[in-house]
Amino acid sequence: MYNSEMEHFKDYASDLLARSTHGSTEGNSGSSYLRTSKQTWLDHREFSPNITLVHNKIGGSSLNESARILETDWSWGSYFSTRDVFNATDKVAARVSDRMELVGKFKLLKYWSAEKFQIANYGLGGQYGQHLDAHGYWNGVTKSDFLEKTGDRIATIMVYLADVEAGGATCFPNTGNRITVKKGDAAFWLNMYTSGLQDQFTNHGGCPVLVGSKWITNKWVGYLDQFREYPCSVKGWNERFHKFESYY
């Protein structure tokens, strides 16, 4: 990301940050010492502003009924998730998301293809214990209507929005990988196998910040929209998607 984009993200988040939460095997979320940071969300997509157009296409009994169908039925949600039926609520975030699409060849625009940008700040001592970004929907670990439609988080795109004087690295203890914080750099990894199951090699955490303040933004990519666009190749599972490898 460019410096002006990173500053925009931090300025947007500064007055909106709240204590970060994390998921659990019970499917709910809460805060604990596992994750000591603050966060907020930024999205450039506001879907179905032209609800009359959507209503005429779907044909629900009312505008509200058509809107509900759009949000809950994947086929309609995907069909109407196009540039002519949504507003770019944040043009800087839209530009960053477009760049991520080009770099990763992902689909991030559609209704269920990706989550909002998460912006997080870790102060002195702030850290995030080791965890998996993929919730484990097809592992049977958790259930939710949202994950049923997205297919879980196949990939993580994380950008460091500020330098850290000491600490704050992103570490993968099962593989020996370590990514140091460098402002403007993006870290990318795949969280799942093509089967949809979690890749335990992607278990990772944010090391404590020793000096300074750590800022990051995450874009989590949904599984199903990517595989509807890029079906598995008959030539082998690893032609497009490569699993995590250990450095040990």
| CA-wise closest residue to 197 among 239, 244, 143, 134 | 134
Give the relative orientation of helices 91-104 and 3-14 as an angle to the nearest 10 degrees: 130
pLDDT at 1: 97
Taking only the tens of pLDDT, the chain with its 248 residues reads 999 999 999 999 999 999 776 555 555 555 555 767 899 999 887 664 466 777 777 888 888 887 777 666 656 655 555 555 555 578 899 899 999 999 988 988 877 889 999 999 999 999 999 999 999 998 888 888 888 888 999 999 999 999 999 999 999 999 999 999 999 999 999 999 888 889 999 999 999 999 999 999 999 999 988 887 776 666 655 555 566 666 54
Residue 31 tokens, joined:
């805060």
CA atoms of 188 and 87, how far apart (whole Å): 27
pLDDT at 178: 93
Could you give the domains of the chain?
A: 3-44+91-229 (2.60.120.620), 47-88 (no CATH)
